Amino acid sequence: MLAIASDHGGLGLKNIIGEWLAQRGIDYEDMGTFNEESVDYPDYGVLVAKAVLEGRAERGILVCGTGIGMSIVANKFPGIRAALVHDEFTAKMAGEHNNANILVLGGRVLEASHACELVQIWLNTPFAGGRHQRRLDKIAALEEE
């Protein structure tokens, strides 16, 4: 199951991604926001990060205007590997090399069809392990310091 959320700047794209997921039978929980009223992205980034950390979601998707704010928020949580992606290569590497458990997108940066392609790439790219696991282990050790 995926957890998805956005602020007002990512609402439109988040809703399109939700429809795209539903059309493909991918289970997800929409954690907000649900209207265009201005909200603070940290309030929604934390919901998805905690859902992933607590095992209520396997992975998450966050959307704000640029994706930068949501990336910063999500990566404050030890164990979260949130990757801001903007093209096919970064979406693939987020999965293959970084085993990102949260994908972050910019609602004011990406066209909806392109964003959905990036979600598909990320969802379908297996983690390569090996030297990449060693690197993630080093990040996990830093989180424990």
Residue pair 1/58 in contact by the 8 Å Cβ criterion: yes
Provide DSSP, 30-57: E-S--SSS---HHHHHHHHHHHHHTTS-
Q: Using alpha carbons, select from 1, 3, 137 the residue that is nearest to residue 79.
A: 137
> Alpha-carbon distance 19 to 74, whole Å?
23
| Residue from 64, 114, 116, 132 carrying the catalytic annotation | 64
Catalytic (active site) residue 64: yes
Active site residue 86: no
Q: Which of the residues 97, 114, 116, 132 is marked catalytic?
A: 97
Contact 80, 51 (CB under 8 A): no
CB neighbour list of residue 63: distance below 8 Å, 6 or more residues apart? 4, 5, 6, 7, 9, 10, 11, 13, 14, 17, 70, 104, 105, 106, 107
Question: Are the CB atoms for 133 and 98 separated by under 8 Å?
Answer: no
**Catalytic site positions:** 64, 97
